[in-house]
Structure 1
Amino acid sequence: MTMPQQDADTVRVLRGLENSDASVRLRAAMAVGTAPDPGFVDKLIERCAVESEFFVRDMLTWALTRHSSSTTVPKLIDELRSERAQARSQGLHTLSKVGDPRAWPAITRELLTDADDEVARSAWRAAVVLVPEDEEPGLAAVLATQLGRGERPMQQSLSRALIALGEVILPVLRAAMTAPEPRVRAHAMATERLLRDPDAGFEFAIEEAKRIVALGTTGQEE
Structure 2
Amino acid sequence: MAAGLMLSGCMQATHFEATDTKAFKPKDKELLAKVRYENTPVAEPFRRAIVEYHRKESPGSIVVDSDNHYLYYVLDGGKAIRYGITVGEEAMAWSGIAKVGSMTEWPAWHPTPGEISRLGVPTYVAPGPDNPMGSRAMYLYSGGKDTLFRIHGTNQPEYIGASISSGCIRLTNEDAIDLYGRVKVGTIVVVLEPKHGDSPYNSRLALGAGGTGQAGSY
TM-score class, shorter: under 0.3
TM-score (ref. length: structure 1): 0.21
Return the TM-score normalized by structure 2: 0.21
Q: Which has the larger radius of gyration?
A: 1
Structure having the higher helix fraction is: 1
Higher RCO by CA contacts (8 Å cutoff, separation 6 or greater) = 2
Structure having the larger proportion of residues in strand? 2
